[in-house]
C-alpha cells in the first residue's frame, strides 16, 4: 500500500489564539486528487497554510511520512500584488528560489524547464511583460507555472478559477487531470460542478472536517456545511446524494 506523502493529525489551528480549524485529520497519498469545499471563513485556506508551514497549529502535527517533498502552491489571484514591477518570466523563475538569496542563479536545466512551462501555458508572447498588464486568466497561467516549476509531488490550488475566462478554465481543468497522473493535487474551490466531475475525493471543511472517499457532491453535503447551494455541471456524469454529516 502507498505511504502518505503528507498528513495532518488532529490539527487545531487559527489566529491570535482563536481556533479556525478544530481537530482535523487528513492523509494525502501519491496521485490523490482531493477537492476541499466549505463556506467562507470555515478554515479551508487556514488548512492550506498549515500544510505549507506558513502557520503552525495550536495542537496536533503536520508530517511528511515519505520524507521531505516539493509542494507547489497556486494562491488566489486576489492575493497577488500585480503592481509589483516583475515580468512573467521572473515570476515563474522565482519558484526556484531557495535559501536566503533574493534571486536564484539558474542552471541550464532550470532555464529549459522555465521556457518549457512558458510555452506550454501559452505565455511565450508575454515572457517579458510586467504582470500588471496581464488579464486574470493570464496571471493564473503565470502563477500555476511558478507552482509547477520545481516539479512538485503535491500541488495545492486555492480557488484557481477566480478571475479566469471560461476558455482558460476548461484548459486548466484538463491540464490538472493530466498533472494528476504524476502528482497529488488538493483543489480548494466553490465551483461545485467542477469538484464533482474532476476530483477523486472530497473534504468538507467548516472548522471540523468530514472526508468523503468519493467525488460525490450533493445538496445534503452543502446544506450541512452552510455552503451556497449551486451545482452547475455540463457533463453527463451522474451525481449521487449523500447523507448529512452526523
Grid cell locating 65: 511520512
Grid cell locating 189: 474551490
**Domain span including residue 41:** 6-82+153-224
Q: What is the pLDDT of residue 1?
A: 60
pLDDT at 138 over 60: yes
Is residue 11 one of the residues assigned to a domain? Answer: yes
Mean pLDDT of all residues belonging to the chain = 84
Is residue 185 one of the residues assigned to a domain? Answer: yes
Q: With CA atoms as reference, report the closest residue to 48 among 209, 232, 193.
A: 209
Alpha carbon distance 222, 229 (integer Å) = 6
What pTM was computed for the model?
Answer: 0.84
Strand partners, 12: 59
Is residue 63 one of the residues assigned to a domain? Answer: yes
Is residue 146 one of the residues assigned to a domain? Answer: no
Q: What is the pLDDT of residues 52-79, one digit of tens each?
A: 999 999 999 999 998 999 999 998 766 6
Q: Could you tell me the CA-to-CA distances from 39 to 63, 159, 244 in Å, in that order?
A: 26, 13, 16
C-alpha distance across the termini of the chain, in Å: 29
Is residue 220 one of the residues assigned to a domain? Answer: yes
Is residue 194 one of the residues assigned to a domain? Answer: yes
Strand partners, 62: 8
pLDDT: which is higher, 221 or 102: 221
Q: What is the pLDDT of residue 240?
A: 40
Residues with Cβ < 8 Å from 136, sequence gap 6 or more? 77, 162, 163, 164, 165
Q: What is the pLDDT of residue 239?
A: 44
Is residue 115 one of the residues assigned to a domain? Answer: no
Is residue 95 one of the residues assigned to a domain? Answer: no
Looking up cell 521572473 gives 90
pLDDT at 140 over 70: yes
Alpha carbon distance 75, 169 (integer Å) = 16
Count how many domains the chain has: 1
Where residue 18 sits, what CATH number does that domain have?
3.40.50.300
Q: What is the pLDDT of residue 226?
A: 58
Q: What is the pLDDT of residue 159?
A: 85
Amino acid at each position: 500500500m502507498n505511504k502518505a506523502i503528507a498528513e495532518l493529525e488532529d490539527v487545531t489551528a487559527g489566529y491570535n489564539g482563536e481556533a479556525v480549524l478544530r481537530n482535523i485529520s487528513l492523509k494525502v497519498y501519491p496521485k490523490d486528487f482531493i477537492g476541499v469545499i466549505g463556506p467562507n471563513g470555515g478554515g479551508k485556506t487556514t488548512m492550506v497554510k498549515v500544510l505549507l508551514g506558513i502557520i503552525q497549529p495550536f495542537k496536533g502535527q503536520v508530517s511528511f511520512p515519505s520524507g521531505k517533498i516539493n509542494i507547489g502552491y497556486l494562491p488566489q489571484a486576489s492575493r497577488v500584488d500585480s503592481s509589483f514591477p516583475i515580468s512573467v518570466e521572473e515570476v515563474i523563475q522565482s519558484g526556484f528560489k531557495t535559501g536566503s538569496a533574493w534571486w536564484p542563479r539558474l542552471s541550464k536545466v532550470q532555464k529549459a524547464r522555465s521556457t518549457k512551462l512558458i510555452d506550454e501555458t501559452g505565455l511565450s508572447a508575454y515572457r517579458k511583460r510586467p504582470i500588471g498588464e496581464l488579464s486574470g486568466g493570464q496571471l493564473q497561467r503565470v502563477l500555476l507555472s511558478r507552482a509547477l516549476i520545481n516539479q512538485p509531488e503535491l500541488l495545492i490550488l486555492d480557488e484557481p478559477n477566480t478571475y479566469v475566462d471560461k476558455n482558460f478554465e476548461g484548459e486548466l481543468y484538463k491540464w490538472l487531470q493530466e498533472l494528476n497522473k504524476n502528482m497529488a493535487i488538493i483543489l480548494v474551490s466553490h465551483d461545485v460542478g467542477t469538484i464533482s466531475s474532476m476530483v477523486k475525493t472530497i473534504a468538507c471543511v467548516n472548522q471540523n472536517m468530514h472526508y468523503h472517499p468519493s467525488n460525490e457532491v450533493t445538496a445534503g453535503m452543502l446544506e450541512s456545511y452552510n455552503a451556497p447551494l449551486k451545482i452547475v455541471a455540463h457533463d453527463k456524469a451522474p451525481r449521487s446524494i449523500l447523507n448529512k454529516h452526523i
